[in-house]
Amino acid sequence: MSGESVLGCAPAAQPQVLRERGQREVFCGLTGIIWMHRKMQDAFFLVVGSRTCAHLLQSAAGVMIFAEPRFATAIIEERDLAGMADCQDELDRMVDKLLTRRPEIRTLFLVGSCPSEVIKLDLGKTAQRLDAKFAGSTRILNYSGSGIETTFTEGEDACLTALVPEMPSADADEAANLLVVGALPDIVEDQFKRLFDELGIGPVHFLPAKRMAELPKVGPNTVFLLAQPFLTETTGALQRRGAKRLDALFPFGAEGTTDWLRAAAEAFGIDRMHFNRVVAPGRERAKRAIAHRRERLEGKRITFLPDSQLELPLARFLHTELGMMPVEVGTPYLNRELNARELALLPASTRLSEGQDVDLQLDRVRLDRPDLTVCGLGLANPLEAEGLSTKWAIELVFSPIHGFEQAGDLAELFARPLRRRDILRV
């Protein structure tokens, strides 16, 4: 926690990062739609892509696709490939039909995919044109969730980046406001809201908001906390609108959450004693909940394969609060600035890797034989069949894991596979 103040020395040596490229076993950014559409309740996500894209969403969303979802795929067919003009007309028609059928939609995202990017279908233009047409009733925005540009959670980054220009401006003379950036489960959002209230920090807003009309203001007096580590582009867009990012650990575990809240408290000049008093109960609860799992996890070696960019902060949490030893921490993309504090807390022996050549990486996993490997569902069962314990990574994106009250659950997610391994006698 005092990494930066070591007697004026150069910052602690950071481990070398292994950069690889080869086959990447990751989701594309379209997957973000699955949680984004639950969060933004008056938004619809229309992917412009191929059957592969539709199939991906169907597989990834599992059962959810049957609950009259607010996403769909406009499938590019062969005749669309012949002439561009057609494509635009067809999209117009489709959007017309969609908005007639679902008049409650306030934001429509046209989401670009690999095929639409490769044929250079200008969805930006389409969005502008349609936006003018539906002005007053539905905003029509655009971002890309294509696999050639985005990896998994970067889809959320791209989506939020598209929302930033839509946020109303706050004047320079307005009071400071706090923005929490990154989609969080409602229950977590409410917990944070209560904590900020008790601390006396406010007004606090969340991006994304539940409804388009509730999009928060942003301006030079806005400070923001990232709830998620994968929001590089959104951070840039907010900074360009004058907002300032508060540097903090990400709110995982007792320490991470405390540090994250402290950054906001300091920005709002909250008294240290008051801060400690407000934070103490939650922090203690978190520590107690984590302690239950410590026995199972302490000293265990863990490898993360790249997936969501959550790998770094989670490895930090598991190391500092549960005593696990990260062997390799892979991330699809490493933003050193956003993760500076996280990096400083990882043990120097950690092998960091950015990008992936999955076969080489699996060779390393087999050589390292970590006690637990965090990986995607395409790799989990095959690794289990080789006798390696795994924790499938997607759950970390879909489950509530942020904040004090979820710290125990978060630890449990990693403890469970190991416990199960001990229980089973078949």
Partner 1 sequence: MRVATAMQDLHYVLHAPQGDTYADLLFTMIERRGKRPPVTYTTFQARDLGKDTASIFQNAARDAYERFAPKALLVGASCTAELIQDDPAGLAEALELPCPVIPLELPSYQRKENWGAAETFYRVVRQLVDRDVRPSPREGRRPLVNLLGPCALGFRHRDDVLEVRKLLWNLGIDVNCVAPLDAAPDDIRTLGRADFNIVMYPEVGGEAARWLDQALHQPAIRTVPIGVGATRDFIAEVAALAGVDATEALADPQSRMPWWSRSVDSTYLTGKRVFIFGDATHAIAAARIAHEELGFEICGLGCYNREFAREMRAAAAHYGVEPLITDDHLEVEDAILNASPELVLGTQMERHIAKRFGIPCAVISSPVHVQDFPARHSPQMGFEGANVIFDTWVHPLVMGLEEHLLTMFRDDFEFSDEAGPSHLHGAAPVARQQAEPAMPSTRGELAELPTATTIAWTAEAEQELKKVPFFVRGKVRRNTEAFALSQGRGAVDLATLYDAKAHYAR
- Does 299 engage in binding with partner 1 (CB under 8 A)? no
- Does 50 engage in binding with partner 1 (CB under 8 A)? yes
Among 17, 18, 60, 325, binds partner 1 (CB under 8 A): 60
Instruction: Give the integer Cα–Cα distance in Å for 217 and 171.
Output: 9
Among 147, 251, 313, 417, binds partner 1 (CB under 8 A): 147
On whether the CB atoms of residues 215 and 170 are closer than 8 A, the answer is no
- Does 40 engage in binding with partner 1 (CB under 8 A)? no
The interface region with partner 1, picked from 77-85, 157-165, 201-209, 261-269 by CB under 8 A, is: 77-85
**At its nearest, how many Å lie between partner 1 and the CB of residue 230?**
15
**At its nearest, how many Å lie between partner 1 and the CB of residue 176?**
38
Report how far Cα 105 is from the mean position of its chain's Cα atoms. Answer: 24
- Does 119 engage in binding with partner 1 (CB under 8 A)? yes
Toward partner 1, which CB reaches closer, 46 or 76? 76
The interface region with partner 1, picked from 46-54, 169-177, 247-255, 284-292 by CB under 8 A, is: 46-54
Helix (H) or strand (E) holding 49: strand 43-49
Contact code string over 99-118 relative to partner 1, x by CB under 8 A: ---------------xx-xx
Beta pairing partners, 375 = 392
- Does 146 engage in binding with partner 1 (CB under 8 A)? yes
Toward partner 1, which CB reaches closer, 233 or 321? 233
Among 17, 52, 294, 418, binds partner 1 (CB under 8 A): 52
Q: How far is CA 44 from CA 37, 103, 110, in A?
A: 7, 11, 9
The pair of structure tokens assigned to 120 is: 């250079």
Toward partner 1, which CB reaches closer, 61 or 183? 61
Interface of this chain with partner 1, residues 334 to 363, rule: CB under 8 A: 359
Instruction: Give the integer Cα–Cα distance in Å for 176 and 174.
Output: 6
- Does 135 engage in binding with partner 1 (CB under 8 A)? no
On whether the CB atoms of residues 190 and 164 are closer than 8 A, the answer is no
Q: Using N-to-C axis directions, what is the helix angle for 272-297 and 186-199, rounded to 10°?
A: 140
Interface of this chain with partner 1, residues 8 to 37, rule: CB under 8 A: 22-31
Toward partner 1, which CB reaches closer, 80 or 259? 80
- Does 376 engage in binding with partner 1 (CB under 8 A)? yes
Toward partner 1, which CB reaches closer, 41 or 239? 41
The interface region with partner 1, picked from 76-84, 204-212, 220-228, 239-247 by CB under 8 A, is: 76-84
Spatial neighbors of 109 by CB under 8 A, at least 6 apart, are 43, 44, 45, 46, 141, 142, 143, 159, 162
The pair of structure tokens assigned to 413 is: 């997610």
As separate numbers, helices (DSSP H) first and strands (DSSP E) second, the chain gives 17, 14
Toward partner 1, which CB reaches closer, 94 or 291? 94
- Does 66 engage in binding with partner 1 (CB under 8 A)? yes
Among 12, 41, 77, 419, binds partner 1 (CB under 8 A): 77
CA end-to-end span of the chain: 45
Toward partner 1, which CB reaches closer, 51 or 369? 51
On whether the CB atoms of residues 316 and 345 are closer than 8 A, the answer is yes
The interface region with partner 1, picked from 132-140, 143-151, 279-287, 415-423 by CB under 8 A, is: 143-151
Q: Which residue has 């696999």 as its token pair? A: 147
- Does 367 engage in binding with partner 1 (CB under 8 A)? no
Number of Cβ within a 10 Å radius of residue 181: 24
Number of Cβ within a 10 Å radius of residue 283: 19
Instruction: Give the integer Cα–Cα distance in Å for 398 and 350.
Output: 26
- Does 421 engage in binding with partner 1 (CB under 8 A)? no
Among 84, 135, 148, 187, binds partner 1 (CB under 8 A): 148
On whether the CB atoms of residues 85 and 73 are closer than 8 A, the answer is no
Toward partner 1, which CB reaches closer, 180 or 397? 397
The H-assigned helical ranges of 63-122 are: 78-82, 84-101, 114-118
Beta pairing partners, 48 = 74, 112
> CA gyration radius for the chain?
22
Instruction: Give the integer Cα–Cα distance in Å for 376 and 378.
Output: 5
Among 47, 74, 76, 401, binds partner 1 (CB under 8 A): 76
79 φ/ψ sector (left φ>0, alpha ψ -120 to 50, else beta): alpha
Size of the site for partner 1 (CB under 8 A): 46
Q: Name the residues that contact partner 1, by CB under 8 A.
A: 22-31, 50-52, 55-56, 59-60, 62-63, 66-67, 76-78, 80-81, 114-115, 117-119, 146-149, 151, 359, 376-382, 384-385
